[in-house]
A and B are shown apart, each in its own frame.
Chain A
Amino acid sequence: MADTVVGATPDPHASGDDPSRRDFIHIAAGAAAVGAAGALIWPLVDQMNPAGDTLALASIEFDLGKVEPGQQVVVKWRGKPLFVRNRTPEQIAAAVKDDNASDLRDPATDESRHKPGKAQWLVLVGTCTHLGCVPTVGGGDYGGWFCPCHGSHYDTSGRIRKGPAPKNLLVPDYAFLSDTKIKVG
């Protein structure tokens, strides 16, 4: 029955009539809907990123006088442990000796990992570069740190030597305010 009507009384609203105009409306409406959905989803995703107060975490100052030679002090910085280690001359010598060792996975000289003329002070972010555990000081095959979680060995310069971790322990941004005081962050 319907096919007898087609052509007899042209219906301006029939589907398929003037396809380009119809398509334009479909595409425009679809694009608007996608745009609106995207605009709505982004705040819902972005709210999980660090909030303003989290980002505004202050830098910390630390008095090196608390750390005896051979010792390490762990302080909390941005929710993570920060290692401040006062290295003995033997430990520094061991680190420098291995500067060109073939098993350095993330090659770096010991020189590049401390401030000039402050070879005894090693300041590192104390999270294993594998999966974020806190390595224990003095352990492992190289006398630096040993991560108990998955067995990564770091040397006395905090360089990865053995185990699954891909990178050296991270050196944060810090500066000496005086001979005995540093500012981290």
Chain B
Amino acid sequence: MSGHSTYEPTTGIERWLDTRLPIVRFAHDTALSFPTPKNLNYWYTFGGILALMLGIQLVTGIVLAMHYVPHVDYAFASVERIMRDVNCGWLIRYMHANGASMFFLAVYIHMIRGLYYGSYKAPREVLWILGCLIYLAMMATAFIGYVLPWGQMSFHGAVVITNLFGALPIIGTPITTWLWGGFAVDNPTLNRFFSLHYLLPFVIAGLVILHIWALHVPGNNNPTGVNVKSENDTVPFHPYYTVKDGFAIGVFLLLYASFVFYNPNVLGHADNYIPANPLVTPAHIVPEWYFLPFYAILRAVPDKLGGVLLMFGAIATLFVLPWLDTSKVRSMRYRPTARLYLFIFVLAALVLGYCGGQLPDDPVIGAPSGLMLLDADINSMVWLSRVATLYYFAYFLIILPVLGLTETPLPVPESISEPVLSHPATTPVGAAASPEKRG
């Protein structure tokens, strides 16, 4: 994919620099002339959106760190001071808090895009695994960041999540004590969380560089899933995709701004505006929305260690996905059966997210049925979570491996250009298809 460089330094200073540090050439080849499949749709704009969101989180975060005090006695008050007294502090904090949600929204769409078009398959396994690592680092960063305001949800969220490691046999207690730096979540915990919350975004940025590197070796996948066959299948990244990404970013920022300016707290929880109190747990403790599916998986299992293992397993499964999907066809555009199962998978993930936000014993519809299955009413969030959890794992561990061997995919086009050029609407009667004029 990465052909020879088309960069030609025009000025004397560029020629001088190019022979010493070809950084302009690198930027030109990476972001301007990079040959990109010409059929990318708007689902492919989320990579650019994510890069922007990382930038926004870094800038707003560094600014917030100038005003925030990582101490149990001052953390909550310093956040309130940012909201009330620091010039534009409210804007920067709301951008940061809602930016995290927007970041996750974009990453989930980006991941589902990858699932749909088979972007994780050879030769892009490393690209996919790097993406999973970024997702993992994002979750760690987001969780730690949510602890910093030291409200009730911050504190008890930190207690619950760090206690997850306590479920491990033998090493569980030493690990939680080590994480806390004491016998409970306290000032040492807050201090180190602040330190790590500052560090991890730069780890993410490093992983993003590797992710883009791994993307530029085989080049972009595309909605047909067919490899690029010739230059006729590609266009330079600039102006074609700088403009397309730019438009998508504009639309995405509208959504982001509508949260920041009109409903900045709707994705948060009111209890986090109560200062942390280690002696009282809020009546209804829930994580941020982007963790709810995993929280539902955790609660679906009546055993502590089992729940924790299944929750981490849900993420670990993503890493081995390239070797679980046995189909030779990348894009689900040509795999109607797989497409159906993927839609159900997305639905199951949404159901898990919904269940994660409800109390485990709440009825799903109407009143409890009174019919107990094992340990819970059959009409309860717990049982709905269990069904959805089962599907989540079945999709990766059973459906994808088996389906790749048994399904009959639709005919896959010869090249990216072929389905467009052979389409009756683009081929008027009598006119010969001339690919060279349609670049």
Q: Interface on A for B, CB 8 Å cutoff? A: 45, 48-51, 54, 57, 74, 76, 78-81, 126-127, 130-136, 147-151, 162-166
B402 interface residue (CB < 8 Å to A): no
Known: A131-B160, A132-B163. A148 touches B303 (CB 8 A): no
CA distance A165 to B301 in the complex (A): 11
B183 touches A79 (CB 8 A): yes
B304 touches A50 (CB 8 A): no
B278 touches A80 (CB 8 A): yes
Sampled A-B contacts (13; CB under 8 Å): A45-B178, A48-B181, A50-B182, A51-B181, A80-B278, A127-B159, A130-B163, A131-B160, A131-B163, A132-B166, A136-B283, A148-B281, A151-B360
B286-303 contacts to A, CB under 8 A, are 299, 301-303
B181 touches A50 (CB 8 A): yes
B284 interface residue (CB < 8 Å to A): yes
CA distance A57 to B182 in the complex (A): 10
B239 interface residue (CB < 8 Å to A): no
Interface centre among A126, A134, A165 (most CB of B within 10 A): A134
B179 interface residue (CB < 8 Å to A): yes
Closest to B302 in A: A164
CA distance A45 to B177 in the complex (A): 12
Q: Which of B87-95, B185-193, B319-327 contacts A (4 or more CB under 8 A)?
A: B185-193
CA distance A162 to B182 in the complex (A): 29
Closest to B307 in A: A164
Q: How far is the CB of B183 from chain A (nearest CB, A)?
A: 5
B336 interface residue (CB < 8 Å to A): no
A133 touches B281 (CB 8 A): yes
A79 touches B184 (CB 8 A): yes
Interface residues of A: mostly helix, strand, loop or mixed?
loop
Q: How far is the CB of B179 from chain A (nearest CB, A)?
A: 7
B285 touches A48 (CB 8 A): no
C-beta contact mask, B147-159 vs A, less than 8 Å → 1, else 0? 0000000001001
A148 touches B282 (CB 8 A): yes
Which A residues are in CB contact (< 8 Å) with B177?
A: 49-50
One of A54, A130, A148, A165 near B188 (C-beta < 8 A): A54
B281 touches A149 (CB 8 A): yes
B285 touches A148 (CB 8 A): yes
Known: A49-B177, A165-B304. A79 touches B159 (CB 8 A): no
Which B residues are in CB contact (< 8 Å) with A136?
A: 281, 283
Which A residues are in CB contact (< 8 Å) with B301?
A: 164
CA distance A79 to B187 in the complex (A): 10
CA distance A165 to B361 in the complex (A): 15
CA distance A39 to B8 in the complex (A): 51
C-beta contact mask, B386-404 vs A, less than 8 Å → 1, else 0? 0000000000000000000
CA distance A81 to B283 in the complex (A): 16
B359 interface residue (CB < 8 Å to A): yes
One of B178, B182, B279, B299 near A150 (C-beta < 8 A): B299
Q: How far is the CB of A147 from chain B (nearest CB, A)?
A: 8
CA distance A45 to B175 in the complex (A): 11
Closest to B303 in A: A164
Known: A50-B183, A148-B283. A81 touches B156 (CB 8 A): no
Closest to A57 in B: B183
Q: How far is the CB of A80 from chain B (nearest CB, A)?
A: 5
CA distance A36 to B140 in the complex (A): 30
Which A residues are in CB contact (< 8 Å) with B185?
A: 79
A48 touches B178 (CB 8 A): yes
One of A48, A81, A151 near B278 (C-beta < 8 A): A81
Which A residues are in CB contact (< 8 Å) with B280?
A: 134
Q: How far is the CB of A62 from chain B (nearest CB, A)?
A: 14
Known: A80-B278, A150-B360. A133 touches B303 (CB 8 A): no
Q: How far is the CB of A17 from chain B (nearest CB, A)?
A: 40
CA distance A91 to B301 in the complex (A): 31
State the 6 A-B residue pairs at the shortest beta-carbon distance, nearest first: A79-B184, A132-B163, A131-B163, A134-B281, A133-B281, A131-B160
CA distance A50 to B184 in the complex (A): 10
B200 interface residue (CB < 8 Å to A): no
List 8 extra interface pairs beyond A80-B278, A148-B283, CB under 8 A. Answer: A48-B179, A51-B188, A54-B181, A78-B182, A78-B184, A79-B278, A131-B164, A133-B160
Q: How far is the CB of B376 from chain A (nearest CB, A)?
A: 9
B159 touches A130 (CB 8 A): no
CA distance A79 to B162 in the complex (A): 15
